[in-house]
Copies of this chain bind each other. A is one copy, B any other.
Amino acid sequence: MPKRVDHEERRGQIAEALVRVAGRRGLHAVGMRDVAAEAGVSLRLVQYYFGTKEKLLLYGLQHLTDRFTERVGARLRAVGRDPGPRATAEALLLTSLPTDEESRTFHLLYTSYAVLSVTDEALAAQPFIANPDAAEDALAGLLRQAQESGLADPGVDARTEAIGLLAMAAAMGTSILVGQRGPESATEVLRHHLDRIFTPPDDGPPAP
């Protein structure tokens, strides 16, 4: 038998090539030959490891969301262990903004996939739609926990605010992507709403 290469690793390399070229020229413009050239392999190889283009695209979506999940985790770890709910929520929201090349590519492709899923049933059946639901639950839980700890305004509805925050982050991310808005503006708006929700504890030590 020949080299006995690791299939999963190879598929990952090709999927990353797909993400790169799709991030550059748009998901609609990427062909099997482009992916092969970007990955430095022959067209035949891409066929060999994925069979059909549809499977390649689905795998690419999976690869994309996996990498993004890791990215969010890294960002959360970067804010230090046991951060407050406010810092966690902020990291969660700001990570999804397209500020550097990687997040820009992620945002572009994720939106492309989402748009495609409206008219493509194979994509619509993909569970990547459920991902925002998980984020919504996490953020709502964070807010509720903050409310119980007295760190957040107990008068607001946690789930409603979570939905609103995630929606704002998503749409303003797209605005950044198309060049309509700068990342600073989006960050400012998000921070403003976080400030509104997270009431600072007013039982601090009085000034001397």
Interface residues of A (CB under 8 A from B): 24-26, 28-29, 108, 111-112, 114-120, 124, 129, 132-133, 157, 160, 163-164, 166-172, 174-175, 177-180, 185, 188-189, 192-193
A160 touches B192 (CB 8 A): yes
In whole angstroms, how far apart are the Cα atoms of A132 and B170 in the complex?
15
Question: Is the pair B171, A185 in contact by a Cβ cutoff of 8 Å?
Answer: no
The answer to whether A129 touches B180 (Cβ under 8 A) is yes
Cβ of A28: which chain B residues have Cβ within 8 Å of it? 28, 116
B172 near A26 with CB under 8 A, answer no
Instruction: Count identical subunits in the complex.
Output: 2
Q: Which of A117, A167, A192, A193 has the most CB of B within 10 A?
A: A167
A129 touches B168 (CB 8 A): no
In the complex with contacts A28-B116, A111-B111, A119-B29, A175-B167 CB distance below 8 A: yes
Q: Are A179 and B119 in contact (CB under 8 A)?
A: no
CB neighbours (8 Å) of A108 from chain B are 115, 118-119
Which of B29, B120, B168 sits near A167, CB closer than 8 Å? B168
Bound together, the chains give a CA A25 to CA B118 distance in angstroms of 9
Top 8 A-B pairs, shortest CB-CB distance: A26-B119, A167-B171, A171-B171, A170-B171, A167-B168, A28-B28, A167-B172, A160-B192
- Chain B's closest residue to A191 (CB) is B160
Residue among B29, B129, B179, B188 making CB contact with A178, cutoff 8 Å: B129
A189 to chain B: which residues have CB within 8 Å? 160, 163-164, 167
